[in-house]
Amino acid sequence: MTLPTGRRERKKAATRQKIADTALRLFLERGYDAVGIRDVAAEADVAVTTVFSHFASKEALVFEQDQDFEQRLTQAVTRRARHEPLIPALRREIEALVRHCTADSAAPIWHMVDASPALREYEESMRLRHAESLAMAIAADPDLPQTTTVCRTIARFVIDAHSLAREAADPETALDEIFRMIEAAWAATRPSTDAHSCSGTASRGRVGDSPE
Amino acid sequence: MTLPTGRRERKKAATRQKIADTALRLFLERGYDAVGIRDVAAEADVAVTTVFSHFASKEALVFEQDQDFEQRLTQAVTRRARHEPLIPALRREIEALVRHCTADSAAPIWHMVDASPALREYEESMRLRHAESLAMAIAADPDLPQTTTVCRTIARFVIDAHSLAREAADPETALDEIFRMIEAAWAATRPSTDAHSCSGTASRGRVGDSPE
DNA sequence: CCTTAAATGCTAACCGTTAGTGTTACGGTC
DNA sequence: GACCGTAACACTAACGGTTAGCATTTAAGG
């Protein structure tokens, strides 16, 4: 059992962090497109191949902590309180993540992302991965006997919520609107929970008690 | 105004088509990654720069007709019958497009797409563009006085429906499930029209006070 | 016919990314 | 402590998508 504080691992983590910090600094200073991988490597005093041994691509340098994101989402499902409804738990997590993205300190980064097509594209593929992970987590919950399609659909909707709320002028209000829709979509998948159940072609489901 | 059948435009269109056909043939014969742009250019008997004057990227060679896709979606909104409900109109169009994608003749292409991360990523960015166009079309409809967020959300959901149904084992059933959810989400945005209101487990609309 | 501009060709390069090949330094073992 | 396996890193060179710069053809219109 190697202790988690081996010198090797510390050095590796330090190198990775130095690369990420240097890259982000240069990107913000000169612009993402104006900084090459060779620049980052030189400034961080490592070889180009070392950069790519820590990060799969240039874009990955910007989204350094996306694994945290993914894990927080799945844990919002797996570690929620017993019998706690799914959607509110997800909403809490998305709300926290949106707040994190829209914080003032993160603003320059997202401005850079929005300005670069390559970064936007990369973010898109990340979102797809996150949606798949989330769908797996939902499908694995024994309290939620849903089809694969429903799990994947709800997962996509939730990820969409994050993306749309982040870009909205008023993220809080946007989350309200979007999650009202997601609640309704989720409710439409379980026509038999309580006896009310207006099933059939389910044109219009019930409208949730509007808080206004 | 020059007539749309000038010799120049015909030749240009022919060149474009020859490049696209050659590229798709080579991709299917040897695999997407095994064929370089220089191969495509040589086989189509054009210069590399000519390829890029017709197509923005290598991936765009595969999704040659995505503009048709986008146009069909927006027209499903703008050209639908007077007072026809939005969602069923969109569902019809998505259903047709999914059928088109899952046809036997298109199977090898989508197999290639699913096998290539670059193509998948490109398809993702396409979907985002399509969703934005669709959101614009929905927002422009005077019969649908919705907020920007609601329009963008519904647009994303519909695009998600296409993506998920295309990948599902049974696309027809998947579309049924997903559009039942989308109908409910859409209905939840208009609480005042006419409420049949079969309310089940009352979802809480008011979250957002305590983030922790 | 002659001018103009669009379409295409050719060359060379840029940049992200990877393969191949060593070299170093840490970790576990004797 | 000496030893060995291996993870981390360096270096070079190259590949492949993409673009700039400039030359050349060819259709369009006066």
Residue pLDDT, tens place only, B110-160: 999 999 999 999 999 999 999 999 999 999 999 888 999 999 999 999 999
Cβ contact, residue pair B173, A128, below 8 Å: no
Q: What is the mean pLDDT of chain A?
A: 89
Contact B187/A184, CB-based, under 8 Å? yes
From the Cβ of A59, is strand C under 7 Å away? yes
> Which of B128, B147, B184 is facing A185, going by the closest CB pair?
B184
What pLDDT, on the 0 to 100 scale, is given for residue B9? 87
Contact of B161 with B88, CB cutoff 8 Å: no
Q: Tell me, what's the pLDDT at A211?
A: 41
pLDDT along chain B (212 residues), means of 10: 68 94 96 96 96 97 93 96 94 96 94 95 95 97 92 98 96 97 95 50 40 37
**pLDDT for A23 beyond 80:** yes
**Which two three-digit tokens encode residue B3?**
């007539």
pLDDT of residue B118: 95
- State how far residue A113 is from chain B, nearest Cα, in angstroms: 14
Q: Can you give the pLDDT at residue B3? A: 47
Residues 6 or more apart in contact with residue A105 via CB below 8 angstroms? none
Instruction: Identify which of B121, B124, B200 has the shortest CB distance to residue A193.
Output: B200
Residue B44 half-sphere exposure, CB side, CA atoms within 13 Å?
A: 29
Cβ pair A177:B189 closer than 8 A = yes
Q: Residue B199 is encoded by which pair of tokens?
A: 């309310």
Q: How far is residue B149's CA from residue A174's CA, in Å, rounded to a whole number?
A: 6
CB atoms within 10 A of CB A125: 18
Over residues A169-191, the pLDDT tens digits come to 999 999 999 999 999 999 999 87
| Cα–Cα distance for residue pair A40/A63, rounded to 1 Å | 15
Give me the residue from B156, B168, B207 closest to A164, CB to CB.
B156
What residue in B sits closest to A202 (Cα-Cα)? Answer: B180
Are the Cβ atoms of A184 and B188 closer than 8 angstroms? yes
Residues of chain B in contact with residue A173, where contact means CB-CB under 8 angstroms, are: 149
CB B164 within 8 Å of CB B174 = yes
